[in-house]
Chain A
Amino acid sequence: MANPNPGNGNGSGTARTTAEAFELKVGLAEMLKGGVIMDVTDSTQAKIAEDAGACAVMALERVPADIRRDGGVARMSNVEMIEEIQRSVSIPVMAKVRIGHMAEARILEALGVDFIDESEVLTPADDQHHIAKHDFRSPFVCGARNLGEALRRIGEGAAMIRTKGEAGSGNIVEAVRHLRQVTGDIRGIQARAPEELMSTARDLGAPYDLVCFVHQHGRLPVPNFAAGGIATPADAALCRMLGAEAVFVGSGIFKSADPDTRARAIVRANTHWEDAEEVVAASRGLGDAMEGIEMETLDESQRLANRGW
């Protein structure tokens, strides 16, 4: 996979192969493992997140619960707001672009954002195509509901996959469904004979070489995190039990009664997800969680996870 535009990136202009650039992108994803990435909408929230032990923050204008409530077109955040958050914390700063919006992604790349989330939480800019992510110096994370979707995004250059879950719902059921789907799909591929992998790739709509990687290694070629509906320490622990290597928490923290305490509690439960006593301790004295949404009350058109393909 040759970069069709070598040397057009910003920064130092150092020539790199696509493979080497991809290794660096996945490298940062590796560093975020075992962590909690928190949605924040200003520098005050970003500091709360960092002080609570978040390993990265996601800068966005409205958390998904508010995007869902307010309606309208949700876009990339204001440049000044992203820069303010970058100045306020030492941990990596991520930000979202609309699916397919390569111009928004070029802006985030030029700002030196550490990870770009091509996210179904924002209103898609392209209903057919995702961004060609290998062409960027910044790493990308993308959502997925199943293995085929995950491998399509990785084929385009995503260096991290997260389950879509159902953002802004406060309901973990969709994240669980997507985690189980991805891990179940992986087990299915491992059980296949080598000569069956091409038709598997056809059926999944996934690149053949990546299907072969999954067959050989029994995992995605990039880190696999969970997102969408995590509201409690136990939700974070559940995602880790199901194989997620880190978690994103969106509305769950800053839509709760006591964000600082809840942020620390989710970090603690995420570190000690295998230790029930720690998760119990993390679950004490939290105040109210965000209000959740029952999935049956959402029309198909209101489900953010259906965006992208």
Chain B
Amino acid sequence: MPADDSSAPSARPCRVGILAIQGDVEAHASAVTRLGADVVRVLREKHLGDLDALILPGGESTTISKGIDRLGLREPLRVFADSGRPVLGTCAGAILISREARHHPVPTLGLMDLVALRNDYGTQVDSFASETDPGSGDFSGLRCVFIRAPRLVELGPDVEVLARVDGEPVLVRQGNRFACTFHPELTDDLRVHRLLVDAAG
């Protein structure tokens, strides 16, 4: 960012929170840092206060969901999303952001009008990497790493598909809320994180 306008207080870096109960928090932190944004590791309601955006990372959705309840964060996370600030959920985060998780149900945050089918591609031996389908617009040619990934189904009318792999939605948007079944934080391509930071304005 050019440093010629020292009078502009609005030039402070975007502050991106990462829910830090469990998972690949540091990989997300690295991606966010490369975009020039500040990172806040979120474990308390007070950490949500001055954030511009929030990431629900990859990890184990059962573990993270139990941590959300233990820390009393379920309602504060909903309030944060209702404030209109952008939220991105990747893999386990996409499960948590959904209105419902099936196969081994887990309590979700209900922030997006879609259903996540947990581990729907199989166990770890079925994990895979693939490029997004042609016609995925800004996200064409994006290499996606799927680890025990969920599948997104029953997308509501307000949910827009931003990228597909083999015809299946893998990156979707509903207003300022984003769900991604792969792991953009595990590759060097920053397009998905930039989407979040840009949405924060």
Chain A: residues with CB nearer than 8 A to chain B? 9-12, 14, 16, 20, 23-25, 27-28, 30-35, 50-56, 89-92, 109, 112-115, 137-139, 267-268, 271-272
Contact = CB atoms under 8 A, between A and B. Distances in A.
A56 B128 contact: no
Contacts of A91: 60, 62-63
Interface string B103-116: 11010000000000
Which interface residue of B26, B129, B183 has the most chain A CB atoms within 10 A? B129
Contacts of A137: 125
B60 A109 contact: no
B22 interface: yes
B145 interface: yes
Contact of B59 (A10, A51, A55): A55
A33 B24 contact: yes
Given A27-B127, A34-B21, A34-B22, A90 B27 contact: no
A16 B186 CA distance: 18
Contact of B43 (A33, A115, A271): A271
A92 B67 contact: no
Given A10-B125, A112-B122, A31 B62 contact: no
Q: Is the interface of A mostly helix, strand, loop or mixed?
A: loop
10 contacts: A11-B126, A25-B124, A27-B145, A33-B26, A51-B66, A90-B103, A92-B124, A92-B148, A271-B21, A271-B22
Interface of B: 20-27, 43, 58-60, 62-63, 66-67, 70, 91-92, 103-104, 106, 118-119, 122-129, 145, 147-148, 183, 186
Given A31-B147, A114-B148, A11 B60 contact: no
A120 B7 CA distance: 62
Contacts of B127: 24, 27-28
Given A11-B125, A34-B25, A271-B20, 12 more contacts: A16-B128, A16-B129, A23-B129, A28-B148, A33-B26, A34-B59, A35-B60, A92-B124, A109-B125, A112-B122, A113-B123, A137-B125
A55 B125 contact: no
Contacts of A115: 124
Which interface residue of A23, A31, A53, A138 has the most chain B CB atoms within 10 A? A31
B124 A50 contact: no
Contact of A33 (B25, B106, B123): B25
Contacts of A109: 125
A218 B6 CA distance: 36
Given A28-B147, A31-B91, A53-B67, A23 B186 contact: yes
B32 to A, nearest CB: 16
A18 to B, nearest CB: 13
Contacts of B62: 50, 53, 90-91
Nearest to B27: A30
Contacts of B20: 34, 271
A272 B43 contact: yes
A137 to B, nearest CB: 4
Contacts of A53: 22, 62-63, 66-67, 70
A114 B124 contact: yes
A270 B118 CA distance: 25
B145 A23 contact: yes
B60 to A, nearest CB: 4
Nearest to A116: B124
Contacts of A9: 125
